[in-house]
Amino acid sequence: MEKLFIVDDHKMLLNGLKTYLEENSEWKVAKTFTSQAECLECLAQIQNPCELPQIIIVDVQLRGESGFDLVERITKNWPQIKCIIYSMYDTPGYILQARESGAKGYISKVASEEELLAALKTVLDGGEYIEKRMEKTLKNLDSVISSFSRQEKIIFEKILQGKTNKEIAGELFISSHSVENYVSFMYDKCYVKNRMELIQKFQNN
């Protein structure tokens, strides 16, 4: 039986997901957590590598913390564990950030249970999984971001997450003017005139 952990601060969803997986698949949900700290503490205490989960399902937001940060830490310290981001958000910016964090899969909470099982199987077998309805959008994104600098890529992700220049500046510890300059360069590279056109060009269809 395959083993996984789930990290989600919504206890009702957490318990429902655990029940579904154990009743309808070969997966055993060995541990569940509602915070980043709980998960990391548990992993650090596991001495036998055989007791580690093959996959950890991680929610994007955990009581004000970022699920992406947790995925980065897991990927760095336990590279044998694969992570899937499971999120209420389906905007392209979150998909890109999930991939940057090291996640091997991204699926929204409105996806069917069958698609979640498909994602788990694909990731377990060594592949990467993006929710089917997001694949076309991701291909469009990949064709553009290859021309971006690392900073432009990060700002681009945050724009597609709906964040303002001021919010982006605060998160990246740079000036709003610097963000405006980066955004202007991106408009040129994406052949759009403003933020609305940029978002509409890469929204999920």
Residue 114 vs residues 20, 56, 108, 110, 120: alpha-carbon distances, Å: 11, 18, 13, 11, 10
* pLDDT in 10s for each residue of the chain, 205 residues: 789 999 999 888 899 999 999 999 999 999 999 999 999 999 999 999 889 999 999 998 887 788 999 999 999 999 999 999 998 877 788 888 898 899 999 998 888 999 999 999 999 999 999 988 887 777 777 777 888 888 998 899 889 888 899 999 999 999 999 999 999 988 988 888 988 888 887 765 5
Would strands 61-62 and 129-130 be described as parallel, antiparallel, or unpaired? unpaired
**DSSP calls for 165-188:** HHHHHHHHTS-HHHHHHHHHHHHH
d(CA 144, CA 187): 11
pTM: 0.79
The amino acid that residue 176 corresponds to is S
